[in-house]
Chain A
Amino acid sequence: MSQILHIDWTKCDGRGLCTELLPTVLGRDDWGYPLAKYARGGDRTNVEIGPRDAQAARDAVSLCPKLALSLAPQ
């Protein structure tokens, strides 16, 4: 079952923890902010997370220093 990782851009400060934990899902722009590598329909705010990345995504949610991430079932 895949999940959706939602990035709250009003909270995100581009600290880079999520891009380390989800290297196959998220890239990083020049200013440090996460970029969805495969944005569905151009949506870079709600990123699809496959089963293999589920644990890493949970870690990213709990470790994000700005609490900018949340996970929801698709």
Chain B
Amino acid sequence: MDNAMWAFGRVSGFASLALITVSVLLGILTRSGRPPPGIPRFSITLIHRNISLLATVFLFLHVGSLMLDSYAKLTVTDVVVPFLGAFKPFWQGLGTVAFDLVLALMVTGLLRQRIGQRTFRAVHWFSYAMWPIALAHAIGNGTNGTSKWFLVMAAGAGAAVGAGVAWRLSTNFLETAKARAGALR
């Protein structure tokens, strides 16, 4: 049973990170207003939300299983307060920071209608901080974090998100960018 918790803790962390990566990319895509062929814009928004929630479920399983595991022995304090862990406190602390950010992102995401756009947006920007922190936690703390296969995948994810951010910052990012710029000429 112990081995099962440990194995599940590792694989659920990996799954969560993979889903978070997809979610960040979908978030950038939905922000552009450009629907991919065959998928309407509102579907991209819904997929972004559902992938994020799924990532959060795996994140809870990741943290929960490692709390129950007799080797990792995560405490409630470890889960909430960063950098106090017994093993690799810095790298584990990054995971705690990312977890706390995910909680904030999830709560503000679900309460968007109530808290208003301004608050939602201010918190939602932190997803751009959460993703690299989560990735660094995976590399620094994961048992396979520095394995070649994981580093190759991490580099791929980094390239994808990097390209997404570069696209996000480019002038023609918005679907309507050309039309709107044209009005200024």
Q: Which residues on A are within 8 Å of B, measured CB to CB?
A: 11, 14-17, 20-21, 30-32, 59-60, 62-63, 65-67
Instruction: Write the nearest CB–CB distance from B76 to chain A, whole angstroms.
Output: 34
Min CB distance A32 to B, Å, is 4
Which of B30, B40, B116, B176 is the one whose CB lies under 8 Å from A65?
B30
A67 touches B175 (CB 8 A): no
- Total A-B pairs, Cβ < 8 A: 40
**B127 at the A/B interface (Cβ < 8 Å)?**
no
Contact of A32 with B42 at beta-carbon distance under 8 Å, contacts A15-B33, A65-B30 already known: no
Do B117 and A32 touch across chains, with their CB atoms under 8 A apart?
Answer: no
Sample of 12 further A-B pairs with CB below 8 A, known A16-B41, A60-B42, A65-B31:
A16-B33, A16-B175, A20-B41, A31-B176, A31-B179, A32-B33, A32-B179, A32-B180, A63-B42, A65-B30, A65-B45, A67-B113
By the criterion of a CB under 8 Å from any partner CB, how many residues of chain B are at the interface?
17
Query: Shortest distance in angstroms between A53's beta carbon and chain B's nearest beta carbon?
Result: 14
| 7 A-B interface contacts by CB (under 8 A) | A15-B33, A16-B175, A17-B41, A20-B40, A63-B46, A65-B30, A67-B113
The residue that A62 contacts in the complex, of B33, B113, B117, B175, with Cβ under 8 A, is B113
How far, in angstroms, from A57 to B40 measured CA to CA in the complex?
16
Task: Assess whether A32 is in contact with B176, with CB atoms less than 8 Å apart.
Answer: yes
Q: Looking at B46, B117, B176, B179, which has the most chain A CB atoms within 10 Å of its CB? A: B176
Set A30, A63, A66: member contacting B117, Cβ < 8 A: A66
Q: How far is the CA of A40 from the CA of B176 in the complex (A)?
A: 27
Interface residues of B in 20-76 (CB under 8 A from A): 30-31, 33, 40-42, 45-46
- The digit string for B164-185, where 1 denotes a CB below 8 A from any CB of A, is 0000000000011001100100
Chain A nearest CB, measured from B108 CB (Å): 13
User: B88 interface residue, CB < 8 Å from A?
Assistant: no
- A15 and B41: CB pair below 8 A? yes
Task: List 9 tightest A-B contacts by C-beta distance, closest first.
Answer: A32-B176, A67-B117, A17-B42, A20-B40, A15-B33, A30-B179, A17-B41, A31-B179, A63-B42
